Amino acid sequence: MAEPLGILLISGGHERAHYAFVLAAGAAAIGRRVCVFATNAGCHALLRDWSGLDDATRDQAVRATGVAGLDELREAAAELGVALLACDAGLRMAGLDGAPLWQGVEVAGVPAFLSAAAGGQIISL
Residues in the chain, pLDDT under 70: 1
Query: What is the model's pLDDT at position 1?
Result: 62
Query: Exposure of 100 by Cβ count < 10 A (0-12 exposed, 13-18 middle, 19+ buried)?
Result: exposed
Query: What is the model's pLDDT at position 57?
Result: 96
Does the domain at 5-124 match CATH 1.10.10.10? Answer given as no
Query: What is the model's pLDDT at position 2?
Result: 83
Could you give the CA distance from residue 103 to residue 39 in angstroms, rounded to a whole number?
17
**DSSP letters spanning 44-88:** GGGBS-GGGSBTTTHHHHHHHTT---HHHHHHHHHHTT-EEEEEH
Closest CA to 116 of 28, 49, 42: 28
Amino acid at 65: T
pLDDT in tens, 99-120: 999 999 999 999 999 999 999 9
Rounded to two decimals, the pTM is 0.95
